[in-house]
Chains A and B, each alone.
Chain A
Amino acid sequence: MAQRFLILEDGSAYPGIGFGAGATTTGEIVFNTSMLGYQEIITNQIYHNQLIVFSQPIVGSIGIAHDGYESILPTTKGVVVRDVTAISKNRQRSLSLDKFLKQHNIPGISGIDTRHLIRKLQQTGTIKGSIVDVADDHAFDQLHATVLTNQQVAQVATPRPYPNPNQGYNVVVIDFGLKHGILRQLSKRDCNVTVLPWQATAQDIINLDPDGVILSTGPGSPLDLPQSVLEMIQTIQQRMPLFAIGLGHELFALANGSEVSPLKLAHHGANHPIRKIITNEIIYAMEGQEFVVNPDSVNRDRLITTYVDLIDGSIQGLRHRDYPAFSVQFFPDGAPGPNDSVDLFDEFMEIMGTRE
């Protein structure tokens, strides 16, 4: 295992030990505070073009399992950890984290003082970083010169439709870079799913005559997607039940006249308490967001706020006043993370059921 460096846009360099692939990569650096679920996090396409720092000090201890994939081909740019371990006796393990990262050409770096790094990132916000072999001027020049794409959705979402056949409700999932957890939850509920590319028009969806539509999670900024996506949402929400998650939630808010802006400090973790307003319950869920709906911009005549984060008060859920359309910023599918809100999928089934 060779010495490698994590270098940041602000000029700092952290020496560490390389694992996984030996590639040199550059991306935005984000930190995740979840204590579990590194495989699901690494394979979640919301981390496209990003390097993930884990605050959990030991990563890799349960290997990689068949049921932990949130995408087929992860496009994360790097994994930054305090300690990586290959020791695992998990019965579900199929390979080690190290080998998995090698297969997907993703570099990892261990031996990093992640507490120090995360404190720094709390001050700087999201900045660029690189995993490199030598932390010289050339490496920093390269880092500064790298321009990251804002077309993340187009990079990771499916370019063509595909089915996931079953016998239950007909559900169309619009793929903005979806995590498999959404399909898994629909599968558990016997839904007959068609996944459509993110450019699908309202007419494409209506032609399939679905019982309901899900707008998936995905990477990047909702503000970088074209107006046509918002027009699709405006039409569809009047026609059939709609459930939007993550990036889908941000788009749902935009489509209904709200503003979305970048968070100063991104939420990546499973330890945010969230208040479910209607019943005043506290739930926990995995959050992975860099953008947030601006509360002052929410048109109260059109939308109801349904969930709020108790740490920073950010909006975590919305519902349309006139249509059976609702959204959550957090990930209710529990992959990884708490299952407190997994029954949002049951709620969606029941809403579809009332319209038969």
Chain B
Amino acid sequence: MAKVVVDAMAMQRALTRITYEIIEHNKGIDGLVILGIKTRGIYLAERIANRLKQLENATVPVGELDVTKYRDDIEHDSTENDPKVTVSKIDFPITDKKVILVDDVLYTGRTIRAAMSAIMDLGRPQQINLAVLVDRGHRELPIRADFVGKNIPSSQHERIKVSVSEIDGQDSVEIIDR
């Protein structure tokens, strides 16, 4: 059974608020780069970058981060379940930049830890901030988000499904009972 907890309007609003909070927190957009964690984080990152461009009339670089090979909870040497390793698409330097890391759901924190490892392999940013659309709790690592669209306290038996119109045909966040 699926229950919509964030509709399209609320998702737009959350991204709008996060955008303003990014400006507030960083005193502008100087030195900012945005990295979206694939798959849906990339679309959310692009939407935040579009909003920043509308407001500030300046382009903030957006990169795509693939963290699969940095995950500690996926068996890398099993040939059967070999995860598809694609390459991160970041065609700008990140050293001394302020990185905004964007993902759809913050859960155990393992994706974010992996993302930070991936970033560190690419350079040494001045700071990393984390923006997530949904924080569902159940952290296994000492990680927290700087910008949260919506806190959704959830049970581990539930699944949080984020849909973005770019690939899913609609904007929504649903809770699904497993």
Residue contact B13 to A324, C-beta cutoff 8 Å: no
Which residue of the partner chain, among B12, B24, B54, contacts A321 with CB atoms under 8 Å? Answer: B24
A48 at the interface (CB under 8 A from B): no
Q: In the complex, how many residues of chain B place their beta carbon closer than 8 angstroms to a beta carbon of chain A?
A: 19
Residue contact A322 to B24, C-beta cutoff 8 Å: yes
Q: How far is the CA of A350 from the CA of B12 in the complex (A)?
A: 12
Known: A347-B17, A354-B148. A324 touches B24 (CB 8 A): yes
Which residue of the partner chain, among B19, B21, B27, B28, contacts A278 with CB atoms under 8 Å? Answer: B19
B10 at the interface (CB under 8 A from A): yes
B20 at the interface (CB under 8 A from A): yes
Residue contact B23 to A343, C-beta cutoff 8 Å: no
Beta-carbon nearest neighbor of B19 in chain A: A278
Which residue of the partner chain, among A319, A321, A326, A343, contacts B13 with CB atoms under 8 Å? Answer: A343
Q: How far is the CA of A278 from the CA of B48 in the complex (A)?
A: 10
Known: A278-B51, A278-B54, A278-B55. A346 touches B20 (CB 8 A): no
Min CB distance A315 to B, Å, is: 14
Q: Summarize B's interface: helix, strand, loop or mixed.
A: helix
Q: How far is the CA of A280 from the CA of B55 in the complex (A)?
A: 10
Which A residues are CB-close (under 8 A) to B16?
278-279, 347
Beta-carbon nearest neighbor of B149 in chain A: A350
Q: How far is the CA of A343 from the CA of B16 in the complex (A)?
A: 12
Q: How far is the CA of A277 from the CA of B23 in the complex (A)?
A: 15
Q: How far is the CA of A209 from the CA of B26 in the complex (A)?
A: 27
B9 at the interface (CB under 8 A from A): yes
Which A residues are CB-close (under 8 A) to B9?
343
Which residue of the partner chain, among B13, B19, B28, contacts A346 with CB atoms under 8 Å? Answer: B13
Question: A-side interface residues toward B, CB under 8 Å?
Answer: 277-280, 304, 306, 319, 321-324, 326, 343, 346-347, 350-351, 354
- Per CB-CB distance, the 10 closest pairs between chain A and chain B, nearest first, are A278-B51, A278-B54, A277-B54, A278-B16, A347-B13, A278-B55, A304-B55, A280-B54, A350-B17, A322-B24
Question: B-side interface residues toward A, CB under 8 Å?
Answer: 9-10, 12-14, 16-17, 19-21, 23-24, 27-28, 51, 54-56, 148
